[in-house]
Amino acid sequence: MVIEMLKLNILVKWQKVLACCALLMLTACGKSYITPDTTVNAPTGIGVMGYDVVAYHTQQKAIAGSANIRAEHNGTAYFFASDENLQSFRASPEQYLPAYGGYCAYAMSQGNVVDINPRNWAVEDGQLYLNANIFAQGLWSLDKQGHIKSANNKWTHLQESVLEQK
């Protein structure tokens, strides 16, 4: 019993440390206090910083795509590592696009708009989620379903406010 209590106490302390680190890292990553001008995180016109969105699903890894193997979707260019991945995307782009327009999933669950690092990711129930850094990824992983529910709600409101601005 005492050992279980000690383990729980240590776990709670680590969660607090991770939360503090994530808050610091999210601030350092450029937390936005305003809504983005677009609902897709592609300031250069290239989605997911040029990483292959299909590879996350099919190869379970982050793979940089090639500018020579690309597709346009709703004004954003997506790069792919292979022609096969390009064809898969063309057949069903919505299946492969990241949640929240490619913004950080953990930050979105907190009501913030933050850029991502394409090497911090997860596919849950067929949906690609990207995060800003390893700290955000770790915090997001502690309660994926809770963060997804919260982020989904906040993303809906954010999209509505972006549409109102246009």
Instruction: Report the distance separating Cα 34 and Cα 71, nearest Å.
Output: 29
pLDDT of res. 40 = 86
**Contact at 8 Å (CB) between 116 and 155?**
no
pTM: 0.79
Average pLDDT over residues 153-160: 87
Residue 142's pLDDT band, with cuts at 50, 70 and 90, is very high
139: tokens are: 């915090």
Contacts of 133 (CB under 8 A, 6+ apart): 22, 25, 29, 117, 120
Question: CA 69, CA 84: separation in Å to the nearest integer?
Answer: 10
Cα radius of gyration rounded to whole Å, the chain: 17
Q: How do residues 69-105 score in pLDDT, each as one tens digit?
A: 999 999 999 999 999 999 999 999 999 999 999 999 9
What is the tens place of the pLDDT at every residue in 19-75? 655 555 554 444 554 455 567 899 899 999 999 999 999 999 999 999 999 999 999
